[in-house]
């Protein structure tokens, strides 16, 4: 039988901007629960959460960590998450399985950009939220400013539960307006002394207590009636009302804390077990087919894989949440995505890098298992015959691309395996082997994300790699009509080769009129794999070229379009009309007409005012108002066209069109000029003409490269 039933398991995700104190809070909570006999320290690299070598090198969290504490008959699962937007995938996957979020606010800095960015994700998941003002013991702490900014950014749903009696180096006292009690801590933190609220604070505390009750009652008609009747609500009524309001995302309690000194963490843990919802109190999961799946230990077994980690000497570790049923070691479940039956040979309770084997776990709980054969992040495993598939995590699109290669020749296969494992662990990394650019590309969230990927490849796979600037996938087209002909003739004894082709090329646009002055026999439109169209016309009269040779002419044209005449880039949006030619009764064959078609097209292309096109990205840069000018200035140095400025939440949103060629280093640049107070989103928008000077430069560079390759 599982140690904890569903109603006694609470799943909490720790959120906040980098440096807000999430890992320190997790450490204090584990210490309070007796899991740790001594609190670890970030500066000394001794915390339970930041155990990874890379995190200790960099001094901040990079990966989400599952921890757990036993507290007053409850099991509290904690997921500590990184604060930088480069690692947003770790935050999103944690939010997918958490039932409550603790958002830490740094009392020194107030509401930082990372807080706002993470808030966007919590709104999508509608995760019940608690705000915690941390670092109140710092001499620069400002509780009132932080509270004002929280209400400004997240609305009046932010409701005070606690406030500090004083902040700064003398911080040791918290007034709790839910319990109407004052907590005073000694210099070592831990369990506080409970005292009456002093007379000097009673009016303030009573007003905040009244605001709290009114906020709770306003979201529940039955409580509102009781409040009008009695003029008060008892503690249990407030707690039940708080829980319902939190589940509905109608109210966000705010607490006070010094995580480093362990002042206030025990009270938050008490609130978690008394008020925060268990998984079975949250709305049921809705499957892909629209069925409701209640979190019930007696229901059919169903788990969701939210994270995968590959550990040296251990193998692939799959982290899961049980959304229904009870699972046992040795149980077989079916993967809805792959159809494979997986055996849960081992189940683990997780505490950072420590795992404790367990035989049985109930709905609502979280843990890990080893060596699933064909199961990945975002997969649902269920009891046979149920066909449940839970909604998958939608990870953010990449913002940065680099090319990668192994330094030593012959290690390409090893690099391929390393990239596969990297992608398996981190779904926000996309790997592309581009046949067009002849490069292997990594698409990621930013320069910090890329640095982590590099570290993993070099340390875990012992590979030396280098990153390079990715080539730009230019396109070639034409701006006017041109005609050309080419005769291919080759005689070398026996059967020779002969084919002559006359053709006209024009820029293609949807809805354009049929060719003027030509006798159209047939028309075929080809959607090109790389975008755009080739429209191919047979306008031959009198049998000058046998119809059986037309596919060969088309093949020659297509071959040249796949290796454009200007820079070797793909060509697009062209109409080709073959209207005359000659053939030989003996020497004409498919290869002759393929070569003639290719060369005639190449000559015509050069005469048709050729134009190089470059990919343009739609960029949205989000930043505070005071640094909008600096962000716009940087964009304009990148040949950006700013389309406007909008407002998104508490950000100014600069909307711009930026050439992909100018996006190199943008992630680092934006972080540098804004001190990490901004973020951006980017996506492909369109192809647009390259400026003439740049076009000439690119053509010359390509010609030089081709010449060097021929030597």
Mean pLDDT, residues 462-482 taken together: 96
As annotated, the residues of the chain forming the CATH 3.30.70.870 domain(s) are 400-468
Residues 6 or more apart whose CB falls under 8 angstroms from that of 452 comprise 54, 62, 87
> Do residues 427 and 377 touch, judged by C-beta distance below 8 A?
yes
Of the chain, the percentage scoring pLDDT greater than 70 comes to 99
pLDDT tens-digit readout, 368-414:
999 898 999 999 999 998 999 999 999 999 989 999 999 999 999 99
**CA angle at 59 for the pair 55 and 65, rounded to the nearest 5°:** 40
User: Is residue 307 over pLDDT 70?
Assistant: yes
Closest CA relative to residue 375, chosen from 345, 413, 418, 419:
345
How far is the C-alpha of 51 from the C-alpha of 598, rounded, in Å?
Answer: 61
User: Is residue 711 over pLDDT 70?
Assistant: no
* pLDDT attached to residue 679: 86
* pLDDT attached to residue 2: 76
How far is the C-alpha of 654 from the C-alpha of 672, rounded, in Å?
Answer: 17
The helix (run of H) or strand (run of E) holding residue 152 is: helix 143-154
Mean pLDDT, residues 46-57 taken together: 84
pLDDT tens-digit readout, 619-641:
999 988 899 999 999 999 999 99
* pLDDT attached to residue 710: 64
Question: pLDDT category, 54, cuts 50, 70, 90?
Answer: confident
Question: pLDDT category, 220, cuts 50, 70, 90?
Answer: confident
Q: Considering the entire predicted model, what is its pTM?
A: 0.89
Q: Options 3.20.20.80, 3.90.1300.10, 1.20.120.1460, 3.30.230.10; which CATH number does 476-602 get?
A: 3.30.230.10
Mean pLDDT, residues 642-655 taken together: 91
Mean pLDDT, residues 220-243 taken together: 83
Length of the chain counted residue by residue:
711
pLDDT tens-digit readout, 173-215:
999 999 999 999 998 899 999 999 999 999 999 999 999 988 9
Of the chain, the percentage scoring pLDDT greater than 90 comes to 79
Architecture per CATH, 6-197+251-281: 3-Layer(aba) Sandwich (3.40)
Closest CA relative to residue 177, chosen from 198, 204, 154:
204
Q: Which of 42-51, 79-88, 642-651, 652-661 has the lowest mean pLDDT?
A: 42-51
User: Is residue 30 over pLDDT 70?
Assistant: yes
* pLDDT attached to residue 593: 97
Question: pLDDT category, 456, cuts 50, 70, 90?
Answer: very high
* Class for the domain spanning 400-468: alpha beta
How far is the C-alpha of 682 from the C-alpha of 398, rounded, in Å?
Answer: 8
pLDDT tens-digit readout, 275-298:
999 999 999 999 999 999 999 999
User: Is residue 709 over pLDDT 80?
Assistant: no
Question: pLDDT category, 230, cuts 50, 70, 90?
Answer: confident
Please tell me what DSSP assigns to residue 493.
S
Average pLDDT, the chain: 93
CATH of domain 292-382: 2.40.30.10
Name the burial class of residue 410, with classes exposed (0-12), middle (13-18) and buried (19+) by CB atoms within 10 angstroms of its CB.
exposed
Question: pLDDT category, 50, cuts 50, 70, 90?
Answer: confident
> Do residues 101 and 127 touch, judged by C-beta distance below 8 A?
yes
As annotated, the residues of the chain forming the CATH 2.40.30.10 domain(s) are 292-382
Closest CA relative to residue 260, chosen from 99, 22, 562:
22
* pLDDT attached to residue 188: 87
As annotated, the residues of the chain forming the CATH 3.40.50.300 domain(s) are 6-197+251-281
* pLDDT attached to residue 120: 86
Mean pLDDT, residues 72-90 taken together: 93
* pLDDT attached to residue 493: 66
Q: Options 3.90.25.10, 3.30.70.240, 3.40.50.300, 3.90.1640.30; which CATH number does 612-693 get?
A: 3.30.70.240
The helix (run of H) or strand (run of E) holding residue 95 is: helix 88-97
Both tokens of 691, joined, read 């400026």
Question: pLDDT category, 444, cuts 50, 70, 90?
Answer: very high
Strand 341-343 versus strand 332-335 pairing type: antiparallel
User: Is residue 586 over pLDDT 80?
Assistant: yes
Residues 6 or more apart whose CB falls under 8 angstroms from that of 576 comprise 503, 504, 505, 534, 535, 536, 537, 557, 601
Mean pLDDT, residues 540-551 taken together: 94
Give the count of alpha carbons within 13 A of 581, CB side only: 34
Mean pLDDT, residues 645-670 taken together: 92
């Amino acid at each position: 039988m599982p140690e904890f039933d569903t109603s006694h398991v609470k799943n909490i995700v720790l959120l906040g901007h980098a440096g807000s104190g999430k890992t320190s809070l997790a450490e204090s909570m584990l210490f309070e629960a007796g899991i740790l006999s001594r609190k670890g320290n970030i500066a000394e690299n001794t915390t339970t959460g930041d155990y990874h070598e890379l995190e200790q090198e960099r001094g901040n969290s990079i990966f989400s960590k599952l921890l757990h504490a036993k507290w007053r008959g409850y099991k509290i699962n904690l997921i500590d998450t990184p604060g930088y937007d480069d690692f947003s995938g770790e935050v999103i996957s944690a939010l997918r399985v958490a039932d409550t979020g603790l958002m830490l606010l740094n009392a020194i800095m107030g509401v930082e950009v990372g807080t706002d960015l993470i808030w966007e994700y919590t709104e999508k998941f509608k995760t019940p939220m608690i705000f915690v003002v941390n670092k109140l013991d710092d001499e620069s702490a400002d509780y009132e400013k932080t509270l004002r900014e929280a209400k400004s950014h997240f609305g009046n749903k932010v409701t005070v539960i606690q406030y500090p009696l004083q902040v700064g180096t003398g911080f040791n006292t918290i007034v709790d307006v839910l319990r109407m009690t004052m907590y005073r801590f000694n210099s070592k933190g831990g369990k506080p002394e409970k005292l009456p609220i002093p007379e000097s604070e009673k009016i303030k505390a009573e007003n905040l207590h009244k605001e709290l009750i009114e906020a709770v009652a306003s979201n529940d008609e039955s409580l509102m009636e009781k409040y009008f009747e009695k003029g008060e609500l008892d503690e249990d009524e407030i707690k039940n009302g708080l829980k319902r309001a939190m589940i509905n995302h109608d109210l966000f309690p705010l607490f006070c804390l010094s995580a480093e000194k362990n002042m206030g963490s025990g009270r938050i843990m008490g609130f978690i077990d008394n008020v925060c919802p268990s998984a079975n109190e949250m709305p049921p999961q809705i499957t892909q087919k629209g069925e409701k799946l209640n979190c019930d230990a007696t229901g059919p077994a169903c788990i969701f894989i939210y994270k995968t980690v590959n550990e040296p000497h251990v193998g692939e570790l799959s982290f899961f949440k049980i959304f229904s049923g009870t699972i046992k070691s040795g149980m077989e479940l079916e993967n809805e995505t792959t159809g494979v039956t997986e055996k849960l040979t081992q189940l683990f309770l997780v505490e950072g890098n420590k795992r404790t084997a367990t035989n049985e776990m109930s709905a609502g709980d979280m843990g890990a298992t080893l060596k699933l054969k064909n199961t990945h992040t975002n997969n649902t495993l269920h009891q046979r015959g149920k066909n449940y598939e839970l909604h998958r995590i939608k990870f953010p699109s990449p913002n940065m691309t680099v090319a990668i290669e192994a330094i030593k020749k012959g290690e390409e296969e090893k690099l391929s395996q390393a990239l596969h494992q990297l992608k398996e662990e981190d779904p926000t990394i996309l790997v592309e082997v581009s046949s067009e650019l002849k490069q292997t590309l990594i698409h990621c969230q930013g320069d910090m994300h890329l640095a982590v990927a590099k570290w993993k490849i070099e340390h875990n796979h012992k590979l030396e790699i280098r990153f390079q600037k990715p080539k730009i996938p230019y396109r070639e087209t034409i701006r006017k009509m041109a005609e050309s002909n080419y005769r291919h003739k080759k005689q070398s004894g026996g059967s020779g080769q002969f084919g002559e082709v006359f053709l006209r090329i024009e820029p293609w646009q949807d809805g354009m009129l049929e060719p003027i002055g030509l006798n159209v026999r047939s028309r075929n439109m080809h959607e090109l794999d790389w975008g755009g169209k080739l429209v191919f016309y047979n306008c031959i009269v009198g049998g000058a070229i046998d119809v059986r040779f037309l596919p060969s002419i088309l093949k020659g044209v297509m071959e040249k379009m796949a290796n454009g005449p200007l820079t070797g880039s793909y060509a697009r949006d062209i109409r080709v009309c073959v209207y005359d030619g000659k053939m030989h009764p003996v020497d004409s064959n498919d290869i002759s007409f393929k070569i003639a078609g290719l060369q005639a097209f190449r000559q015509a292309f050069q005469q048709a005012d050729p134009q190089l096109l470059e990919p343009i990205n739609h960029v949205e840069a989000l930043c505070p108002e005071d640094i909008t000018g600096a962000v716009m200035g940087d964009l304009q140095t990148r040949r950006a066209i700013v389309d406007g400025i909008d407002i998104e939440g508490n950000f100014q949103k600069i909307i711009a069109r930026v050439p992909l060629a100018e996006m190199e280093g943008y992630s680092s640049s934006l972080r540098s000029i804004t001190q990490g107070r901004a973020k951006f989103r980017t996506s492909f928008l369109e192809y647009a003409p390259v400026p003439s000077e740049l076009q000439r430069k690119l053509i010359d560079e390509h010609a030089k490269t081709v010449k060097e390759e021929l030597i």
